[in-house]
Amino acid sequence: MRKNLIVGNWKMHGSHAANAELLAGITAARPFGCDVAVCVPFPYLSEAAVALAGSDVRWGAQDCSAHAQGAYTGEVSVGMLSEFGCRYVIVGHSERRQYHAESDQLVADKAKAALAKGITPIVCVGETLAQREAGETEAVVKRQLSAVIHTLAHCAGEMVVAYEPVWAIGTGKVATPEQAQAVHALLRAQLKAATPHADAMQILYGGSMKPDNAVSLLAQADIDGGLIGGAALKAPDFVAICRAAG
């Protein structure tokens, strides 16, 4: 039986005051019956680590460099993240693929770099609206995942996968539970062909997940949690989703 994982992706939101209030609201609502993590902007990682010390709420970053070190201005290495005790790193979010032209191979290299430092990559895949309407959903998510599976090889079972249909991110247009489950089942089948650990792997859904739709999404056989954007910025909403997943 897989445990659900709920991850808050704060994106480029936050301030000292807002973060303290949000993290206090989350930790005060524990215990949750699922795994819970927050992925915060780089400058706030260490204060999140301090605020969450002693709690079972985990924390992570929203991106990392594929390089170990060197002349890469503005980048943050997985070695730096691991020094702080970072547990997760989101890689291949559609906003990075879109605005930073990240390729499938770069995403795969980032995932590999993270695992090498003991950080679990949360690998995002998902189709745009145009791709869905053109009937390309399966081909797109399979291509995105296949690059990572190939690069991670025997370690593929150690990642977390997140299916985030681009058309559902920040739009309020959530995938129906059936639409999401259909893609999750495809991803699980692809993982099964690559690793003996596929049945134990967490595949998260992301895209306008809110307290009022979380229960029906999480009830699906292959949906093992959520990657939450907007609703992760309000403690009561995030806590309600964690409770739905517990």
Say if residues 165 and 126 touch (Cβ distance below 8 Å).
Answer: yes
Catalytic residue among 95, 164, 178, 184: 164
CB nearest ligand 13P: which residue? Answer: 229
Residue 41 amino acid letter: P
Measured distance CA(58)–CA(82) in Å, rounded: 13
Q: Which of residues 81-110 bind ligand 13P (CB under 6 A)?
A: 93
CA pseudo-torsion sign 28, 31, 33, 34? positive
Measured distance CA(36)–CA(110) in Å, rounded: 22
If one asks whether residue 212 binds ligand 13P (CB under 6 A), the answer comes out as no
If one asks whether residue 170 binds ligand 13P (CB under 6 A), the answer comes out as yes
Six-digit token string for 181: 């489950």
Going from the C-alpha of 59 to that of each of 50, 54, 122, the distances in angstroms are 10, 12, 12
Q: Give whichever of 208 and 220 is closer to ligand 13P, judged by the CB atom.
A: 208
Q: Give whichever of 19 and 62 is closer to ligand 13P, judged by the CB atom.
A: 62
**Residue 40: CB minimum distance to ligand 13P, A:** 13
Q: Compute the residue count for the chain.
A: 246
Binding-site member from 63, 127, 164, 222 for ligand 13P (CB under 6 A): 164
If one asks whether residue 119 binds ligand 13P (CB under 6 A), the answer comes out as no
Q: Give whichever of 69 and 176 is closer to ligand 13P, judged by the CB atom.
A: 176
Six-digit token string for 77: 């290495």
Measured distance CA(159)–CA(140) in Å, rounded: 19
Half-sphere exposure of 74 (CA within 13 A, CB side): 0
If one asks whether residue 177 binds ligand 13P (CB under 6 A), the answer comes out as no
Q: Which of residues 215-234 bind ligand 13P (CB under 6 A)?
A: 227-231
Catalytic residue among 93, 102, 127, 184: 93
93 is catalytic: yes
If one asks whether residue 208 binds ligand 13P (CB under 6 A), the answer comes out as yes
Angle, helices 137-152 vs 177-192, to 10°: value is 40
Q: Give whichever of 231 and 239 is closer to ligand 13P, judged by the CB atom.
A: 231
Binding-site member from 169, 194, 223, 241 for ligand 13P (CB under 6 A): 169
Six-digit token string for 82: 């691991």
Q: Which residues are catalytic?
A: 93, 164
Query: Residues interacting with ligand 13P, by CB under 6 A?
Result: 9, 93, 164, 169-170, 206-209, 227-231
